[in-house]
């Protein structure tokens, strides 16, 4: 098979590119203290939250955008972004029937028939549509076991003590440039609280969607699992096609207390820009989990296929003794996409363990980097880390890089790191073809085999979606 | 802050000293020195705020009253460092070539071994194409200073197809407390030539010295160079070194670098592939204890295809010592069929020892096989148990395992007497941990 066949396989237009026409209540462009007061007033927030935002904003003013990642993009004009945009739907909804039919159609096109999915798959979907939650399903069922699953705005109103206690405790407002920006201007996001001893009876899921041109989206997610609680959370993303770059700077905080277990899965397929690299989302996200209690466990699984630039490091701070951190990632870049992604495992507690499995696939003229940090603090006796990062290159214009930082200060720890890079060989393709399997299918099978270790970690329905997604993304690029 | 300023002042003294050097008779050399001096003036002293120097704190430059060496005529005793296998030996005492201690052997056709200063005067045609042409100083202050100071150093040239079996020994020996020494090696192998070069950095006594070394190795097509580098400076010394290797088509470069001494040492090795089909072996061992810091930065630059590189870097870290490794493998666009494998293995012997390792891959070609691995850990309990079950004491078992870990690198050194000396050093280190 020739290179051109595989290139054809990869070059497929973005299937979710459409704009839903809903009247938006959008703030004027620009960022100032007024903007922040406007957002806060719009959302009728208590004073402590306004102070939280202002503190973050004051600190953000002193920072400059970081330049160390292995990505290139024109400087972002933060004054040319609208920081608030909410669909005009003020009345509270009692059932799905009340949801704007236009909105429902959008989800239909994305393949998320909410009511169907909710009923058949038993998934509660907290739908984020341009920053404000409009519908939450299965809330009652969750409430019965004491789980709180709602938007951050609602949580601020209903459970201020929890939000106040945990927000900013994992990612402080001064953490980094984009986290500070998010803390100042975040509009909405998800909040999830699993009380002591409760195992969440279903997979919790949020469907993010960026709409409205030029509205940077600043989500804030906070998940707390109390002692012996466990939860699996899914995050899936698609975005309509636009030519101007959109900034997305989310913050996700996870807190796991004694024996708690949080599993956070992401499938990200935002608009990546066209073949020439015009347009696409800038995905600059701060995700961090704190294993606060003993024997707690936080597991990140991500499948990153979209965005013009992906720049995120879902991390685990392993503070509790015997706590476990996991990171499973597939990052696929094509055309002019750039990804600088990886994880940080900070071992502080005794006998803490972490596993990192990262698979990078780089095609077209894209640039794919793994950047990771494994730090063993002097207190982390008996800590154990295993890291594996494999790269696959498809084509001669792409690049794959690995930057693993390993910092060890305790001799009783064991740290292992392995990395390899490879390509899809002519002989492998030949082997498939002579067994009657077409080139296209062969490529898809090889890639799925390459990513198997990660896909196995995904919940069932996501695994299916991810497998299909990689196939679609690579249509036309191997040879 | 105070120490930072003083550190700058020794740098200023070095820069001023470079400026004050008597001009050489060769105008091309004066020009290269002037360019480097200009660059040295523009660059600032790296600190731990710079990514490349994040773990390596050289602020001791400000605390120790380093100064330029004073001319003197004391002849040090080098008998402990003489290699019986080597009939050629170039000795530099505090950076100055010492004819009396050197041994230039019987002349061999096609082999030139001399002080670099003499070579610049007598055979400039052999030097001009290489000197200060391989080691880049645009962003490296210490390399720029060294280049601005260019006048003495070791020079080895092998004409085409000349094969020298015996090792050639370059001994840089520091004797003066607080002396700041710029040393330089230039080794040029023409087509299909072969030799083994031992660079030996020795410090006598206990006092702090500051060595700023730059080495350049040019390996022409089908030539083979075996490079052994031993750093055994005084325990208080500061040692900063850069080595640039360029290899043309089908050339072979093999190296073992061993770091034993110095309070703070840094070795930057850059291997540039200048033609297809080269073979490179980079082995490293840092054996450190107490408050020592040993930093190794390597870059394997596969600018052409079909290159093979195998790298193994080991550290044995005891006491409160700190080992740093940053190994970068770069496969440029079009460098197809490259095979590059890198391993970083680190052994921690005490609870305060520290290792920071970063094996790095940057790949821009798709038909390549590259891999790297890193491990950090202590001695394996199963291994210890096995030896103890055979009747060895805990102490002996630990000693033996530590020795075996380091000996893997040392055993690859082709100079028997040097390998034996280093094996003893590894053994001693293993014993002190008990």
A364-400 confidence digits (pLDDT tens): 888 899 999 999 999 999 999 999 988 888 888 888 8
Q: How big, in percent rounded to 5, are the helix, strand and coil portions of chain A?
A: 25, 35, 40
Pick from A230, A226, A286: nearest CA to A262: A230
Residue A22 has a CB neighbour count (10 Å cut-off) of: 17
Query: Which residue from A minimizes the CA distance to B343?
Result: A418
Smallest Cα distance from A464 to chain B, Å: 28
Which residue of B376, B379, B402, B405 to mutate against A (max A Cβ within 10 Å)? B376
Give the pLDDT confidence score for residue A478 in this predicted structure: 52
Pairing verdict, β B224-232 and B194-203 = parallel
Which residue of A421, A425, A426, A443 to mutate against B (max B Cβ within 10 Å)? A421
Q: How many CB pairs under 8 A join A and B?
A: 110
* Residue from the list B346, B354, B358 with its beta carbon closest to the beta carbon of A403: B358
Is A452 among the domain residues? no
**A334: helix, coil or strand?**
coil
Lowest mean per-residue pLDDT among A272-281, B94-103, B322-331: A272-281
**B345: helix, coil or strand?**
strand
Which pair of tokens denotes residue B259? 């770091």
Smallest Cα distance from A275 to chain B, Å: 19
Task: Identify residues of A whose CB sits under 8 angstroms from chain B CBs.
Answer: 68, 376, 378, 391, 393-423
pTM score of the predicted model: 0.79
Smallest Cα distance from B291 to chain A, Å: 14
Give the pLDDT confidence score for residue A188 in this predicted structure: 77
Smallest Cα distance from B338 to chain A, Å: 11
Pick from B245, B116, B105: nearest CA to B182: B116
* Residue from the list A408, A413, A421 with its beta carbon closest to the beta carbon of B363: A421
pLDDT at residue A134 tops 70:
no
Pairing verdict, β A384-394 and A24-26 = unpaired
pLDDT at residue A48 tops 60:
yes
Is A467 among the domain residues? no
Lowest mean per-residue pLDDT among A60-69, A268-277, B146-155: A268-277
Per-residue burial over A205-215, b = 16 or more CB atoms within 10 Å of its CB, e = otherwise: bbbbbbbbeeb
Q: How far apart are the first and last CA of chain B?
A: 39
Give the pLDDT confidence score for residue A375 in this predicted structure: 93
Which residue of A338, A381, A386, A408 to mutate against B (max B Cβ within 10 Å)? A408
Pick from B81, B76, B79, B80: nearest CA to B93: B76
Which pair of tokens denotes residue B139? 């962003």
Lowest mean per-residue pLDDT among A65-74, A156-165, A377-386: A65-74
**Cα A436–Cα A437–Cα A442 angle in degrees, nearest 5:** 155
Q: Hunting for tokens 């890291």 — which residue is that?
A: A387
Work out the pLDDT band at B54, boundaries 50, 70, 90: confident
CB A392 within 8 A of CB A363: no
pLDDT at residue A43 tops 90:
no
Contact yes or no for B376 and A419 at CB 8 A:
no
CB B374 within 8 A of CB B404: no
Contact yes or no for A397 and B333 at CB 8 A:
yes
Q: Hunting for tokens 């061993």 — which residue is that?
A: B258
Is A108 among the domain residues? yes
Residues of B in contact with A356 (CB under 8 A): none
Which pair of tokens denotes residue A49? 């939250």
Burial class (CB in 10 A: 0-12, 13-18, 19+), B385: exposed
Give how far the C-alpha of residue A457 lies from the chain's centroid of Cα atoms, to the nearest Å: 15
**A395: helix, coil or strand?**
coil
Is A248 among the domain residues? yes
Query: Which residue from B minimizes the CA distance to A402?
Result: B361
Residues of B in contact with A397 (CB under 8 A): 333
* Structural domains counted in chain A: 1
Average the pLDDT over B320-328 and give the result.
Answer: 92
Question: In whole angstroms, what is the distance from residue A21 CA to residue A166 CA?
Answer: 36
Domain that holds residue A365: 24-427
Work out the pLDDT band at A41, boundaries 50, 70, 90: confident
pLDDT at residue A300 tops 80:
yes
Work out the pLDDT band at A85, boundaries 50, 70, 90: low
Is A132 among the domain residues? yes
Residues of B in contact with A402 (CB under 8 A): 359-361, 372
User: Domain extents for chain B?
Assistant: 2-274, 379-434
CB B148 within 8 A of CB B23: no
Contact yes or no for B372 and A416 at CB 8 A:
no
Work out the pLDDT band at A240, boundaries 50, 70, 90: low
Which pair of tokens denotes residue A69? 């990642």
């Amino acid at each position: 098979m020739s290179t051109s066949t595989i290139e054809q396989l990869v070059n497929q237009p973005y299937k979710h590119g459409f704009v839903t026409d809903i009247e938006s209540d959008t703030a004027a462009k620009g960022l100032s203290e007024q903007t922040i007061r406007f957002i806060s007033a719009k959302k009728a927030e208590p004073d402590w939250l306004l102070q939280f935002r202002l503190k973050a904003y004051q600190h953000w003013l002193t920072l400059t955008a970081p330049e160390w990642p292995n990505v290139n993009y024109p400087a972002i004009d933060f004054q040319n972004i609208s920081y608030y945009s909410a669909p005009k739907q003020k009345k509270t909804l009692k059932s799905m029937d009340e949801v704007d039919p236009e909105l429902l159609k959008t989800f239909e096109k994305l393949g998320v028939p909410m009511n169907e999915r909710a009923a058949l798959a038993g998934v509660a979907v907290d739908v984020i549509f341009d920053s404000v939650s409009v519908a939450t399903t299965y809330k009652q069922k969750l409430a019965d076991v004491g789980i709180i699953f709602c938007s951050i705005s609602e949580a601020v109103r209903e459970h201020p003590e929890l939000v106040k206690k945990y927000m900013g405790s994992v990612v402080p407002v001064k953490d980094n440039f984009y986290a500070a920006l998010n803390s100042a201007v975040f509009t909405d996001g998800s909040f999830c609280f699993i009380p002591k001893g409760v195992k969440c009876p279903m997979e919790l899921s949020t469907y993010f969607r960026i709409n409205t041109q030029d509205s940077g989206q600043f989500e804030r997610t906070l998940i707390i699992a109390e002692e012996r609680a466990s939860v699996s959370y899914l995050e899936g993303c698609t975005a309509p096609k636009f030519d101007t770059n959109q900034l997305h700077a989310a913050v996700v905080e996870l807190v796991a207390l004694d024996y708690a277990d949080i599993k956070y899965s992401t499938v990200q397929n935002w608009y990546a820009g066209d073949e020439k690299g015009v347009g696409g989302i800038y995905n600059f996200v701060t995700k961090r989990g704190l294993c606060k209690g003993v024997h707690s466990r936080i597991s990140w699984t991500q499948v990153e296929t979209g965005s013009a630039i992906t720049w995120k490091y879902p991390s685990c701070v392993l503070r509790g003794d015997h706590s476990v951190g996991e990171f499973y990632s597939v990052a696929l870049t094509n055309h002019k996409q750039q990804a600088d992604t990886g994880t940080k495992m900070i071992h502080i507690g005794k006998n803490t363990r972490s596993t990192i499995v990262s698979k990078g696939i780089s095609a077209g003229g894209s640039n794919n980097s793994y950047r990771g940090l494994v730090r063993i603090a002097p207190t982390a006796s008996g800590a154990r880390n295993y890291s594996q990062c494999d790269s696959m290159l498809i084509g001669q214009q792409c690049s794959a890089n690995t930057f693993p930082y390993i910092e060890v200060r305790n001799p009783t720890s064991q740290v292992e790191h392995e990395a390899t890079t490879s390509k899809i060989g002519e002989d492998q393709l030949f082997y498939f073809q002579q067994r009657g399997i077409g080139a296209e299918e062969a490529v898809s099978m090889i890639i799925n085999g390459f990513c198997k270790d990660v896909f196995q970690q995904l919940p069932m329905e996501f695994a299916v979606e991810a497998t299909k997604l990689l196939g679609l993304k690579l249509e036309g690029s191997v040879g | 802050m105070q120490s930072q300023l003083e550190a700058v002042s020794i740098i200023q003294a070095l820069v001023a000293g470079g400026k004050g050097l008597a001009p050489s008779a060769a105008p091309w050399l004066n020009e290269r020195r002037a360019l480097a001096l200009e660059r040295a003036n523009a660059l600032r002293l790296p600190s731990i705020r710079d990514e490349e120097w994040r773990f390596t704190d050289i602020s001791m430059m400000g605390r120790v009253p380093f100064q330029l060496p004073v001319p003197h005529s004391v002849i040090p005793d080098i008998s402990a460092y003489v290699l019986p296998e080597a009939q050629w030996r170039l000795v530099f005492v505090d950076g100055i070539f010492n004819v009396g201690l050197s041994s230039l052997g019987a002349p061999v056709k096609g082999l030139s071994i001399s002080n670099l200063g003499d070579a610049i005067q007598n055979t400039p045609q052999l030097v001009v194409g290489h000197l200060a042409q391989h080691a880049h100083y645009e962003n490296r202050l210490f390399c720029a200073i060294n280049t601005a100071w260019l006048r003495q150093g070791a020079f080895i040239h092998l004409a085409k197809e000349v094969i020298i079996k015996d090792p050639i020994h370059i001994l840089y020996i520091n004797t003066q407390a607080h002396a700041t020494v710029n040393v330089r090696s230039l080794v040029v192998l023409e087509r299909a030539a072969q030799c083994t070069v031992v660079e030996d950095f020795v410090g006598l006594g206990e006092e702090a010295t500051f060595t700023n070394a730059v080495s350049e190795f040019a390996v022409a097509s089908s030539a083979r160079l075996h490079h052994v580098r031993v750093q055994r400076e005084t325990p208080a010394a500061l040692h900063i070194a850069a080595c640039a290797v360029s290899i043309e088509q089908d050339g072979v470069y093999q190296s073992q670098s061993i770091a034993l001494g110095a309070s703070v040492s840094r070795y930057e090795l850059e291997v540039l592939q200048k033609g297809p089909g080269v073979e490179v072996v980079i082995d490293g061992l840092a054996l450190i204890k107490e408050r020592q810091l040993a930093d190794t930065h390597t870059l394997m630059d596969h600018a052409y295809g079909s290159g093979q590189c195998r790298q193994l870097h080991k550290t044995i870290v005891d006491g409160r010592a700190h080992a740093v490794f940053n190994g970068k493998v770069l496969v440029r666009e079009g460098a197809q069929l490259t095979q590059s494998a890198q391993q970083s293995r680190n052994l921690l012997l005490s609870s305060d020892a520290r290792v920071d390792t970063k094996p790095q891959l940057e790949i821009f070609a798709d038909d390549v096989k590259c891999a790297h691995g890193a491990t950090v850990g202590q001695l394996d309990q199963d291994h210890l148990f096995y030896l103890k079950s055979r009747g060895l004491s805990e102490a002996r078992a630990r000693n033996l395992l530590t020795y075996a870990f380091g000996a893997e690198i040392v055993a690859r050194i082709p100079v028997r007497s040097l390998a034996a000396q280093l094996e003893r050093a590894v053994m001693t280190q293993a014993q002190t941990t008990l």
